[in-house]
Structure 1
Amino acid sequence: MRQLKRQSVCLLGALSVTGMLQAAPAADEEPLALKRGCMNCHAIDAASGGGRKVGPYFVDVAKRYAGQSQAVETVAERVQSGSKGLWLNQGVRVPMPRNPQVTKEEAQRLVAWILGLK
């Protein structure tokens, strides 16, 4: 019985730590977004960046993909390969260009940061 309690306490502790790690916000990747040219077409929100550019606000991207388990992978792939027509309902008519200068690791870091914006 004592062994079972000890295992239960360890499991609960591990789950708590895992939950805290997952809840931690992504590092601020705005400097990388600037370096890789993301901010030429996107702004974080309406209050920053002087209004809508040609791409959706990053906070709108975060809202669209909130709660989707494969969001980082999906959006990171679109960052690298480009896409079109995904934001027509938001008035975005310009396609997302390919970004071969952005590595897969950078795309995932950028997207994790974007999806963590509120």
Structure 2
Amino acid sequence: MMMKLMMIAASAALLLSGVASADDDKDEAKALAQKNACMSCHGVDKKIVGPAYKEVAKKYADDKTAQARLVAKVKAGGKGVWGEIPMPPNPQVKTEDVQKIVAWVLSLK
């Protein structure tokens, strides 16, 4: 009985640490978006110059290739998907950072 209780407690601790880790990842990604001036043009839930991140998440919700395509678009820049105002290229942002930001954006509901 004692062993079973210890296993349940250990399992609960692992689950809680996973939740904290996921929240930490989201906080890190949002901080990266702020640090790299992404939030100057994109709001989480409102359009600024570019689309709101929640709109991006909604548009690509069922697209399994969205992560890779959006990482490439952030690095290279683009125009035409959300209007005529171009998104400038961001080659100076580390690819790993862009991947974290894009994963966070796509996770927004």
Q: Same fold (TM over 0.5)?
A: yes
Distance 1:77 1:26 in 2: 24
Does the 8 A contact of 1:36 with 1:101 survive in 2?
no
In the other structure, the counterpart of 2:34 is 34
Distance 2:43 2:60 in 1: 17
CA distances 1:11-68 after superposition (whole Å, capped 9, x unpaired):
xxxxxxxxxxxxx68921111100011001100003xxxxx31000000000111121
**TM-score, normalised by the number of residues in structure 2:** 0.73
Does the 8 A contact of 1:81 with 1:97 survive in 2?
yes
In the other structure, the counterpart of 1:96 is 87
Q: 1:54 to 1:72 in 2, by over 3 A?
A: same
- Structure 2 residue corresponding to 1:106, chosen from 78, 87, 97: 97
Distance 1:26 1:73 in 2: 22
Moved over 6 A (4+): none
Percent identity between the aligned chains? 44
The Cα shift of 1:96 comes to 0.8
**TM-score, normalised by the number of residues in structure 1:** 0.68
Q: What's the Cα RMSD here?
A: 1.9
Distance 1:54 1:26 in 2: 28
Q: 1:87 to 1:33 in 2, by over 3 A?
A: same
* Structure with the largest fraction of helix: 2
Gaps of 5+ in 2: 1-21
Equivalent residue pairs, number: 87
Q: 1:63 to 1:25 in 2, by over 3 A?
A: farther
Gaps of 5+ in 1: 1-23, 47-51
Code of the residue aligned with 2:25 in structure 1: it is A
